[in-house]
Amino acid sequence: GFQRDLLYVIAGADQPSGQDVKDEIEQYYSSEINHGRLYPNLDTVVNKELVEKGQLDRRTNYYAITDEGEQAIEDRYEWESQYID
């Protein structure tokens, strides 16, 4: 679920940094998300090719949803829709 939430945040933003993703996810969860949870999960969605990772500068990476990530979100929406009126 956490990785899915990361996909939604990244899809809804224009190449957010890791800190931007962290700030947004913390608002939703109403609690602090530590780096030890955030960045390994970001790396996982990158490795699954759902998200692309690039560099803004030497210290800052950006994240962007891939076509596969968009499809995963769409597939999830369709699956959920069969259970919700």
Q: What is the CATH number of the domain that holds 65?
A: 1.10.10.10
Number of domains in the chain: 1
pLDDT exceeds cutoff 90 at 85: no
**Encoded amino acid at 12, one letter:** G
Q: What is the chain's mean pLDDT, rounded?
A: 96
- The arithmetic mean of pLDDT across residues 47-71, rounded, is 96
Q: Are 7 and 50 in contact (CB under 8 A)?
A: yes
- The arithmetic mean of pLDDT across residues 28-57, rounded, is 96
Q: Are 48 and 72 in contact (CB under 8 A)?
A: no
Which structural domain, as residue segments, surrounds residue 76?
Answer: 2-82
What per-residue confidence (pLDDT) applies to 24? 96
What per-residue confidence (pLDDT) applies to 42? 97
